[in-house]
Each structure stands twice: as C-alpha cells, then as structure tokens.
Amino acid sequence: MRYVMVIDTLKCVGCSDCVVACQTENDVPFGYCRDWVTETVTGTYPHVEMELRSERCNHCENPPCVRTCPTGASHVAEGGIVVVTGNECIGCGACIESCPYDARYQHPEEGYVDKCTFCIHRVEKGLKPACVSVCPTRCMYFGDIHDPNSEVAKLLAERKYKVLAPEAGTKPRIYYLI
Amino acid sequence: MKTTRRQFIKISSLGIGGAAIAGSGFSMIDFFNLKSKKRTYDLSELNRYPTYCDVCFWKCAGWAYTNKAGKIIKLEGNKKDTHCRGRFCPRGTGGLGMYYDKDRLKTPLIRVEKDGKQSFREASWEEALELVASKMKGIRDKYGQESFALIKHGTPGKHFEHLFNAYGSDTIAEPAYAQCRGPRAEGFKLTFGTTVGSPEATDIRDAKCIVLIGSHIGENMHNSQVQELSDAIDRGISIITVDPRLSTVANKSKYWLPIRPSTDIALLLSWIHVLIYEGLYDKPYVDKYCSGFEELKEHVRHFTPEWAYNITDIKPKKIRDSAREMAKASPAVIVHPGRHVVWYGDDTQRTRAIAILNALLGSWGRRGGFYFKEKKKIPNYPHPGYPEPKWTWKDLNKKYPFAHSGITTEVIRASIPGVDGEHKVKAWMVAGTNLTQSIPDKNLTLKAIENLEFLVVVDLMPMEITGYADVILPECSYLERYDPIRSSTFRTPSIALRSPAAKPKYKSKPAWWMAKQLGKKLGLNEYFNYDDYAEVLDWQLKQIGTSLEEMKKIGVKNFERESGALYLKDNENYRFKTPSGKIELYSKKLKDAGFDPMPIYVAHAKPDEKYYRLIYGRAPMHTFSKTINNPYLNDLKDENFIWINPRIAKIWNIKRNQKIWIKNQDGIISKFPVKVRLTERIRWDSVYMVHGFGHDNKNLSRAYGKGASDSDMITNIKTDPLMGGTGLRENFITFLLDNPHKNVEL
C-alpha cells in the first residue's frame, strides 16, 4: 500500500478551502499552515497562462527530512506517509531546512515540528483527508497507488502529470495533473 | 468628513471594548486553548446542529459540530443539500471565525455627547430598544412612519422587514438590488417574463458550452455553480470567457476574449449578428417561442465582427469562432447572466442582449441551458394584515419605470434636503449591510447620515457604518440563532434549517428577538405571537409536512417538483410571462416607455493619460467587506493588491510589492496604501482590486488599514435609466508613489 495524492490543476480554482479545512481539522495555529495554494503565471498579455496548485508535504519516497532527523521523530509510517512524533521531536529544525518544498513549520506553542499527515486519523476511519473531502471543485484525489483500480492509479495512467522539484531526487508522491 | 452632529465614533477609543470583554466571560485565552489543544476527534462522537451558511447569499446548508464542552469546532456541508453537496466553500468552512471573532460587537451602545465630544456608552437591551422604539414612535407622530426607512441585507433583514411592515413602513431597500443584480433581473424579465433566481437556474451540470461575461466563477465561490462547472470540465465543457483580466476561469477557457472594458454590448451584438446571418440560431425554437425576430435581424445587420473589432479589440475570427462554438453546443449552452452587473449604466440593456443571445441559442427551458426553477412555498406564520403605508419605496423609484425593488441610493437621496425634491426620509435602520462600503459615492451617504434624525444599526461586527449610529444593536452570529427557513429556487425545491449550535456570546441577540421586543414596545404584539422563533419554525414546518424536530435531525429536506418538468418538451406549447406570451427579442414595453426596444452599443468614457479603469472583483475566501476580519479567512488573505500590467509599471517605475496610494478622477485619494501586484493577467488600460478591503475602523483589528478600498474610489456613478442601478465601472485611477497624507496612523 502506498498513499498518494493526485491534484487536477485544470480544475483547481485556488479557493484555499483545503487550507481552512486543514486548519480546523488539525488545530493548525493562525499564521501557519500545512497546505497552501500557489499560482504561477507565464507569458505576456494577452497570451497568458497560469497554474494553480494546492501544495503540501509530498510524502516523498526518499524523504530528506527523515534522513536528517536526529531523533527519529520524523519517520515513514504505514502507507508511506511521512509523519512526526511530536513528543520525540526536539524542534532542532533540521528537517525544515532539508525539505525542498518548505512543507514544515515549528508549532509556536508546542515546539514540535508539524506538517501534513494526509489526515491519517481520518483515513484510518475510512474518510478522505479533510482537504480532499471539502474541495468544492473535487480536484483532489487520495488513495493507494499500488491498487490499479484506485482513482489515483487510474488518473495517473490516463492523464498527463508532473511532480514538483523532481531534480531534488526526493521522489515526491503528490502528482499534479496538467 | 467635517464632523458636526454625527461624529464618527471609534468604539474602542472609549475604553468600553475592554469592559465588554471582561463582562462577557470570554477571553482570548479560551480561544487559544481551543486552538492549541491537540485533538483527534471522531465526528460521530460530536453533537451536530443544522445550519445554513450566512457568510454569503448562496446559503449552503451544513452542520456545526460541537465537542463535549459545547464548543463549536468544525463546520461541514450537508450531503443532502443541493447548494453545496456536502462541501462548503472556504468561507463556509471558515464561518467559525464569525463566531469566534473577538472584535464582535458585544453589547448595545448608545451615542452620547459630553463637553462637545461624542462617544458611545454601553446600554442595557431594555434601554437601547426603548430608545429605538421611542424614535420610531416619534418619527411616526411627526412625519408618518413611512419616513423611517429600513436598509437591509440577508436574514436579519427579514425579521426587521416584518417589523417595519407591521409598523406601517414599506420604505425598504437593499443594496443587493440596485448595487448588484437588479439589471439582470429586469433584463431577463423583459425578455423571458421571469428572472433567473438565486441560485441562478443555470443548468451547468448538463451544459456543453458556457459563456461568462465578466463573471468569474471560481473567484466568486457560488458553490453549486463552481462544483457543476468543475464536473463539467471533466466532461469536456467548452468555456468562453469575456474579461479584460485573465480570471481563474478565463485560464480554463477554450476561448478567452480579453475585451476592452465597457464594450461588451458591441461584442454581444456581433455574436447575435453571426448567429443570425450565418443561420446558426435555433430556428424552430425561435419560430415557436420568440417574437420580434425580423426586427432583431434588421437591427443587427451592420453589427458585424469587423465592426465590433474596432470597438472591443477582439479579432473578427475569434468572434466568429466563439459564436460557432456556442451554436455547436446549442441548446446545451449557457450565456451566463452574471450576478454583480452594475457596470456602465446600460446594464439592463446589456443583460437584455445576453438574454436575447440565449433565446437565439434556444437555451431557455432546455437541458444544459436554463432549467425551469422551483422553490417550496413556506406559509407565513399567522399575523394580522399589514397596515397600508401612505407611500412606499415605489414612490422613491418613480424615475425608474422598470425598478421592481427598493433602490438604496434613492432612499439615500430622499434623506437629504434639496437633492431630489422631497426630503421624505428622516431615520434609518441599517441591518446587516456596511453601507459606507457597499454604496458608491460615500460622501452622498455621509451627507444623508448627517441629515438623519436617527440611525440605528444592527450588525455582528463593528463595521464602519456602526460608527455613525445613534444606537448599535449587536446581533449574534448565525451559529447562535434560529432564522427563517431557507427556501430557494433550484432544480428541486428544498428547505434548510438554521438552528443555534451555541448560546449567543457576550450580550448579542438574534434579530428575531430584537424585532419582537421592538414590536412589543410599539404595541404590535399581535404580529409577534410567539415567545421563541422556534415556535414559528415548527408551525411553518408542520404546514409542509415536517417539523422542527425532524429538521433538527436532517437539516435539509428535498421535495418533489410540483410545477412540471425541468425543461420544455419537444414542440411544447408554452406561454412565457411576457405581455405577448413569447420571448420578446423586440420589447414593445421598452419602446412604449421611451427606451431602445433592442440593445444598442453606446461608447463609454475612456481613461485619460496616466489613468486606468478600476475593475474590482472577488477573492474566493472573502465575501465583500464582511469577512476581512474573520480570523480564518484573514489568515488566507489579509490585504488586497492593485494589479498592474508590468509594462505600465515600467513607465511609472513601480516595483513589485511597492506600496502606493491611488487617486481617482474626482481627486479622491485612498486612505491607506495598497501593495502592487505586477501581473500579465491584467490589461494595460485597467487595474484590478479585490473588493472589500481598506477598512478604516480600528475596531476591526485584523482588517484595519490593510489594503485599499475600491468603494472609496467609486464616485462617478452611471445610473441605469431603466431601473436605477448604479453603474460603478466608469471610475479611473492614477498612482501616487509618495504618501499624500500627513498623520495617518497605520
């Protein structure tokens, strides 16, 4: 089993509902976020194009944050999810520095490093991550890429996609349909 | 404003803000405890209360979840609800912030004057309501109750509308009409005999092509439309977007027409020309259902794409190709009527052109076009008939023969001596609308306020309008109250319940309670024959086969249609609700009233050198000025930017993120600076801003001084002669690179 997320940039409108849903689901303090939306614009008026992306931890296959963590708080859990055990984290920030996606932050009150968990507490109960289940455009898909019948596997088989910063060699597992 | 009688009062400068917090039993510490305590909860273990969202007018139904301590921790859409299909938009998800916002109004306040200095002091509900009631009586005795006007928006407005009607005043208006969707209502009514409703009866679910004219679905989060359009993208819908800006949806379009602003009617006429002269229109539909086709054909004879090119900057080939694209999808095609359509003062005529285009494509009453909408009728809770007012909002609208709702700007004009003849309005209640931000030409509004004998404001937040009030009544948030049953037009009729998930914070109260108390004080008890609004709801729900008890469990109830099919049947004989019974391509009604029976293009003013047309719009996480202070939504977007094309910025030597001030054609300068966003997404002759920012009330601690107010820049109003809509897009701005203000505290 390998959990991944597939996000359709052709449908995303950048509304940031994923961000608020994550904040209320996971107690993310104001001023911080586990997911965010980026916009890139190319061309000159009127020959312009843009891309909107909901971004978060890429739950990499080769995660630098796990390698750099001195205590083992950052680790790979079942389904390939990269997670942080809060009470093992010493807040050294090495993982934050090593992440090419800038996906981690230090919790201002608790001190540990926090990031997207793919809402594993929901997934365990058969629910989708909060961002996926709230998205009004249904542009986000979550599932097991090893299951050829899963929505994510089918989409990746049929559609053109990309990952972010492939040159970093992290083997990211968030796929963007383009 | 030169302060005279009515100084603007900043509530917190009086020290009462702190007192109110102490008295409320609420503190920021509670709030942060809630935020920081790690929780992994199971929604099924939580209590849930049905509500429908109050962050915008789409009114999506959902659930407010509370934990064991009774705290509201999460909002989610109701899966049975057609407006949201279980998915709130960011504002609905973040609606929680309206409840938790520490800047909320906390207690009734009364304006007092001491040693020439005006301030607010805390008051009890009894005292504040007694004062409002005595003023209502005073206005009634002195001028007649009609002189007390109600300006309202949203659900609180409904409760006060009932109060005002019982009191004998129908001098009622809401900015949602003449400052927003009024022209569309009248343009479609003149053509099809009916309006498009809200949510609009656009059958995006089954459309093959959609045409958006300045309408930016996805930036406006009109929930079910966003969802249906997204599904349609999966199905391969072709989108045609007309916008001087590469909007989010323009970027998803097969055809983006980057039009020169203010020339939309020329484009529409040339599309009509192509459809008719290339024989692409739905001939059987037009023959059967439309009148005035020959007149229309003659009318558009010369409006070729080549003619339109000179006006719109859109190449003739693109005009032809996009028209053919629509025809290819016909009748499963929607030329979207838009929603905020008060642009250039000829807006009813522009929406008429949109309606005519839809008629030629045969989309009205067809699958994938416009469906026949239906809503559930909710019987009124029994009360005596309303007294007949001597005059109403209709008398203020006399200049505008096609206005079918109160025009807020006319109420404002009638509140100023010597502006338009009679000075009939002497006092206002303003409920749920921040008038100084939602109405253009702020100075006129302030002048009216200056002349009022009394102003009472009902709001959740210390919006700017509260600073001008004599009495402020703090309303509780939608998560703390009952409200009227939601019954909107849609494919299937449905109802939704709003019920309290928590007790009102501070001393705030629901609007229904305020209206009832005022009614009692005015001797109108028989109009408020209940102790709790729950009784009204239960009675109404029982009339339609359900109950409050059932609705508390399900939140939403969908009903079978009773009005017939969603679409026209093949060759069905159908009578439209127009005078001729046909879709009126040529409007005799308009002709008889002295207006153009078919839309014509009239050139509008262009910006002078070094000035740029101000275009404004929405961001998906905000609803006008209402949400800027909401902690969740403010976290997503806490300021607006002014979008400037990089080529223009180069001329000015303006850099990215530079803070500049803006000045309009009438010399009005923004109070606060706004950051520059250099982007190729905007035309050279225009600038763009998201509406609702630039709050200047310090009590809105997160919103104060963040970004600039587009509303302040809108002082040139192009009034629609048909229905009084206030065209807002003929305002031009220039840039000031140095701070023009002295001593503006930021």
Measure CB to CB from residue A11 to each of B89, B223, B233 and give the nearest one: B233
Transcribe B64-94 into DSSP letters: EEE-TTS-EEEEEE-TT-TTTTT---HHHHT
CATH of the domain at A17: 3.30.70.20
Fold observed for domain B200-360+566-592: Dimethylsulfoxide Reductase; domain 2 (3.40.228)
Pairing of strands B209-213, B333-335: parallel
Q: Hey, are the CB atoms on B230 and A139 less than 8 Å from each other?
A: yes
Q: Hey, are the CB atoms on B681 and A41 less than 8 Å from each other?
A: yes
Average pLDDT, chain B: 93
Whether residue B633 lies within 8 A of chain A, CB to CB, comes out as yes
Contact B288, B571 (CB under 8 A): yes
Predicted confidence band of residue B16 (pLDDT cuts 50, 70, 90): very low
* Interface test with chain A among B71, B81, B89, by most A beta carbons within 10 Å: B89
Set of chain A residues whose Cβ sits within 8 Å of the Cβ of B650? none
- Predicted pLDDT at B421: 67
B510/B40: higher pLDDT: B510
Set of chain B residues whose Cβ sits within 8 Å of the Cβ of A136? 84, 87-89, 221, 223, 226-227, 230
Predicted confidence band of residue B638 (pLDDT cuts 50, 70, 90): very high
Mean pLDDT of B575-585: 97
Of all residues in chain B, the percent with pLDDT exceeding 90 is: 91
- Predicted pLDDT at B10: 52
Q: Hey, are the CB atoms on B635 and A30 less than 8 Å from each other?
A: yes
- Predicted pLDDT at B29: 34
Predicted confidence band of residue B577 (pLDDT cuts 50, 70, 90): very high
Q: Hey, are the CB atoms on A24 and B84 less than 8 Å from each other?
A: no
Whether residue A16 lies within 8 A of chain B, CB to CB, comes out as yes
Set of chain B residues whose Cβ sits within 8 Å of the Cβ of A141? none
Measure CB to CB from residue B226 to each of A13, A46, A52 and give the nearest one: A13
Every domain of chain B with CATH number 3.40.228.10 lies at: 200-360+566-592
- Predicted pLDDT at B24: 30
Interface of B with A in 302-331 (CB under 8 A): none
- Predicted pLDDT at B422: 80
Whether residue B42 lies within 8 A of chain A, CB to CB, comes out as yes
* Class of domain B612-736 (CATH, top level): mainly beta
Every domain of chain B with CATH number 2.40.40.20 lies at: 612-736
- Predicted pLDDT at B394: 95
Measure CB to CB from residue A110 to each of B36, B76, B223 and give the nearest one: B36
Set of chain A residues whose Cβ sits within 8 Å of the Cβ of B63? none
Domain count, chain A: 1
pLDDT greater than 90 at residue B6: no
Give the tens place of pLDDT for each residue, B601-619: 999 999 999 999 999 999 9
Distance CA B584, CA B288 (A): 12
Instruction: From residue B108, give the alpha-carbon distance in Å to each of A167, B508, B512, B709.
Output: 61, 8, 16, 28
User: How far off is chain A from B69, nearest CA to CA, in Å?
Assistant: 16
Give the tens place of pLDDT for each residue, B205-227: 999 999 999 999 999 999 999 99
Q: Hey, are the CB atoms on A44 and B680 less than 8 Å from each other?
A: yes
User: How far off is chain A from B370, nearest CA to CA, in Å?
Assistant: 21
Whether residue A138 lies within 8 A of chain B, CB to CB, comes out as yes
Whether residue B35 lies within 8 A of chain A, CB to CB, comes out as yes
Mean pLDDT of B223-241: 97
Distance CA B729, CA B615 (A): 7
- Predicted pLDDT at B7: 62
First to last CA, chain B: 19
Predicted confidence band of residue B8 (pLDDT cuts 50, 70, 90): low
Tell me the residue range of the domain where A123 lies.
3-177
Set of chain A residues whose Cβ sits within 8 Å of the Cβ of B93? 17, 20-21, 24, 134
Residues, chain B: 746
User: How far off is chain B from A108, nearest CA to CA, in Å?
Assistant: 9
Set of chain A residues whose Cβ sits within 8 Å of the Cβ of B633? 20
Mean pLDDT of B406-430: 91
Pairing of strands B47-52, A174-177: unpaired
Give the tens place of pLDDT for each residue, A77-100: 999 999 999 999 999 999 999 999
Mean pLDDT of B322-350: 98
Set of chain A residues whose Cβ sits within 8 Å of the Cβ of B94? 20, 24
Give the tens place of pLDDT for each residue, B662-695: 999 999 999 999 999 999 999 999 999 999 999 9
- Predicted pLDDT at B1: 33
| Number of Cβ within a 10 Å radius of residue B425 | 27
- Phi then psi for residue B528, to 5 deg, are -130, 60
Pairing of strands B556-558, B172-173: unpaired
Give the tens place of pLDDT for each residue, B376-412: 999 999 999 999 999 999 999 999 999 999 999 999 9
pLDDT greater than 60 at residue B197: yes
**Contacting residues for B662 by C-beta, under 8 A, at least 6 apart:** B642, B669, B670, B674, B708, B713, B733, B734, B735, B736
Whether residue B72 lies within 8 A of chain A, CB to CB, comes out as no
- Predicted pLDDT at B11: 54
